[in-house]
Amino acid sequence: MKLDLHILGPLVALIALIILGALLNPAFLAPANITNVLARSAFIGIIAVGMTFVITAGGLDLSVGSMAAFLAGIAIIAMNAALPGVGENWGTILLGVGVAILGGVVAGLLNGLLITQARIEPFIVTLGTMGIFRSLTTWLADGGTLSLEYGLRTLYRPVYYGGIGWITWPIIAFALVAILGEWVMRHSRFGRHVEAIGSNDRVARYSAIDVNRVKLMTYVGLGLLVGIATVLYVPRLGSASGGTGILWELEAIAAVIIGGTALKGGRGRVWGTVVGVLILSMIDNILNLADLVSPYLNGAIQGVIIVLAVVLQREKRAADER
Amino acid sequence: MQRRSLMKATALALVLGSGMAVAQEAADDQITIGVSIPSATHGFMGGLNWHAQDTIERLGEVYPNVQFVLSTAGDAAKQVSDIEDMMATRDIDGLVVLPFESEPLTAPVAAVKEAGKFVTVVDRGLSQEGIEDLYVAGDNTAFGRVAGEYFRDNLEAGSKIVVLRGIPTTLDNERVEAFQAALEGSEVEILDMQHGNWNRDDAFAVMQDYLAKYPEIDAVWAADDDMAVGVLEAISAANRQDEMWVIGGAGMKEIVKRIMDGDKQLPVNVTYPPALISSAIEMTALHFVSGAPMVGRFIIGSQLITPENAEQFYFPDSPF
């Protein structure tokens, strides 16, 4: 079997980062820190798995960060409203979970229908819904912060902080979503259709693939995953505001591209996305742990690593084609 | 199709024309004050927006002949357009502006002043002096100093603290420099200062990393109550509540409530009241309705909120 460095590139980068982190600060490999990094990655990670399908099918979704803020907002409002009637129990929390997930599906459906039925460019549609979800959240919060009632928070809190030993629930959810995503992309008919549409949407149509339906499903799936990410996010701080989820969309897209999925579509790699997400949150973590550079430059370091990761892949691809 | 849109345009022009005529007529005995502030992107600005709306509503009832035009902007360019629109279409007599950024707003606000309007600048100064009639601001240096003095007076020699900074701006620099100056000469060591961007989630991540990095932390200057919320959550997740206390800032109602209740983890808070916009709007209105002199500089001090005086800083209705 020939080892393909191009495919393994992101993984090599991740391992290099882990070694660098361990050398700079021994606390980096402590279980508590690993739990922190993985659990923090989970929101972006779960969203990025969905984003992999959207991008592979030749689409794009800029609205996911605002959507997460909006879903967190309506879930909190729903739970607070249900509190007097249902009481302080898991029933109320399940209601909030249902609102977030159902809301995610509806929001994804809205994006998908505007793109496939109204035939508007995904960039424009989701740029629009990005602004809509963001301002709706600020409006619902009256410019401030929506907070979950204290008793409900205490009850709901273990969903983020609890788990099996040091493997907390967000990490488990992220792993399950990633494994399922990888399976769907590699081994299901849907995954093959997504790749076919992304590489050539006309040929896919002539091959009797229901292109619009598959595209719509990628957006609905992403909405569902944003809903799941929100369900895990709300118990962390128990609040949502206009500042929640800012730039998540770009982090998710960056993770997908670092992982080796082509931005122009046609080639999706879910495990690569997972590696991309871990690279991004590890850079943040290492910069905080190590005092390498002035904190003013953190963004620049991240930018350099993102561009570098993609440049390495491009060179390899050019070599393949030669 | 074409004709219909032409008709629409004519109708629109008519409506606009009559609207302007009304505004012109009203201008004779009516005073119009424009208020331009940044939109509610984080907790503090949310509070400021609420106080602005609340004040406008209240003053509108007290002074029926004073009208207010409120606009909120997400960036400096939009704010410049807002102010130009106020001048062109609403014929304002006074302007209360909290500049999004100092540089880009200086020339447009100077133009308002040159047109003979009364100008009140709030919180962030313009980059040229002498443009505004009235300057109302919080005291960023005192904000850092009051917090720093509390750390100096309440920590033993050799104590270790960590600091969370806001979005990199002059305002943040002033606070942090004053904080460091207040600690000078004491034996308190600042282990680290990273940016939490006045954001709960960012502060949560930074604090988690501090906790992983430093086995001993005696106190945290979160410098903002939104950041304090994230910091507290990270500390309790690591189960280290008993080791350190946290000082936020700006007086968010949830935090003030906990100080009122005597929470050991949150001993005090430093004010930087979002209600400073109310002072500015009220003083500008007073300039027009009374003969009282309302020009100069009005600096609102940063006070220490303690369990004893917390009640007077508690606004349960405000979103912040």
A222-243, pLDDT tens digit by residue? 999 999 999 999 998 888 888 8
Contact B40 A242 (CB under 8 A): yes
Complex ipTM? 0.70
> In the prediction, which pLDDT does A316 show?
53
What is the rounded CA–CA span in Å between residue A300 and residue A79? 40
Structural domain contains residue B114: yes
Q: Is residue B156 part of a domain?
A: yes
How does pLDDT run across A109-139, given as a tens digit for each residue?
999 999 999 999 999 999 999 999 999 998 8
pLDDT (0 to 100) of residue A317: 52
Q: Which residues pair with B270 in a beta bridge?
A: B304
Q: How sure is the predictor about A80, in pLDDT bands with cuts at 50, 70 and 90?
A: very high
Residue-wise pLDDT for A4-48, tens only, equals 656 777 888 889 889 988 898 888 888 888 888 999 899 999 999
- Calpha distance B286→B90 (Å, rounded): 20
Give kind and range of the element (H or E) at residue B73.
strand B66-73
B74 and B194, same domain (yes or no):
no
pLDDT above 70 for A295: yes
Residue B119 belongs to a domain: yes
- Predicted pLDDT at B19: 45
CATH code, domain carrying B32: 3.40.50.2300
Residue B316 covered by a domain = no
| Residue B280: both structure tokens together | 């500015």
* Confidence check: pLDDT of B23 > 50: no
B233 and B280, same domain (yes or no): no
Residue A235 · residue A76 · CB < 8 Å? no
pLDDT in tens, A167-194: 999 999 999 999 999 999 999 999 999 9
| Residue A202 to residues A207, A210, A228, A288, Cα–Cα distance (Å) | 9, 11, 33, 48
Query: A126 CB contacts (<8 Å, ≥6 apart)?
Result: A60, A61, A62, A63, A111
pLDDT at B1 over 80: no
Give the pLDDT score at B159: 92
Residues A112, B310: Cα–Cα separation, whole Å:
50
**Res A51 pLDDT > 80:** yes
More confident residue, B121 or A301: B121
Same domain, B148 and B259: yes
Residue B263: CB atoms within 10 Å: 15
Partner-chain residue, chosen from A142, A237, A288, that has the shortest CB–CB distance to B209 = A288
What does the pLDDT average to over A271-297?
A: 86
Write b or e for each residue in B125-142: b if 16 or more Cβ atoms lie within 10 A of its Cβ, otherwise e.
bbeeeebbbbbbbbbbbb
Gap between the Cα atoms of A185 and B22, Å rounded? 64
Q: Does a structural domain hold residue B62?
A: yes
List the domain boundaries for chain A: 41-273
Check whether residue B130 and residue B10 sit in a common domain: yes
Q: Classify residue B318: in a domain, yes or no.
A: no
Chain A residues whose beta carbon lies within 8 Å of the beta carbon of residue B319: 141-145
Is there a domain that residue B133 lies in?
A: yes
Q: What is the 3 state secondary structure string of B20-34?
A: HHHHHHHCCCCEEEE
- The reported pLDDT for the residue numbered A315 is 56
Kindly report, residue by residue over B257-278, the tens digit of the pLDDT. 999 998 888 999 998 888 889 9
Mutation to test the B interface, candidates A139, A146, A147, A241, most B Cβ within 10 Å: A241
Interface contacts (A, B; CB < 8 Å): 93
Percent of the residues in chain B that have a pLDDT greater than 90, as a whole number: 35
Same domain as B235, residue B149: yes
Of residues B183, B192, B191, B184, the one with CA closest to residue B154: B183
The total number of structural domains in chain B stands at 2
pLDDT attached to residue A25: 85
For chain A, the average pLDDT equals: 89
The residues with which A239 forms a beta bridge, in sequence order, are: A147
Say if residue B250 is in the same domain as residue B102.
Answer: no
Based on the domain organization, do B51 and B159 belong to the same domain?
A: no
Over the stretch B54-69, which tens digit does the pLDDT of each residue have?
899 999 889 988 989 8
Q: Do A237 and B195 touch (CB under 8 A)?
A: no
Same domain, yes or no: B107 and B202 = no
Smallest Cβ distance to B212: which of A30, A243, A296?
A30
- Say whether A237 and B318 touch across the interface (CB within 8 A): no
pLDDT higher than threshold 50 for residue B26: no
Say if pTM beats, i.e. exceeds, 0.80: no
Test the A interface: residue of B54, B198, B209 with most A CBs within 10 Å? B209
**Does residue B210 belong to any structural domain of this protein?**
yes
**Of B239-243, B276-280, B310-314, the least confident:** B310-314
The range of the structural domain enclosing residue B290 comes to 2-138+274-300
- Measure B209 CA to nearest chain A CA, in Å: 6
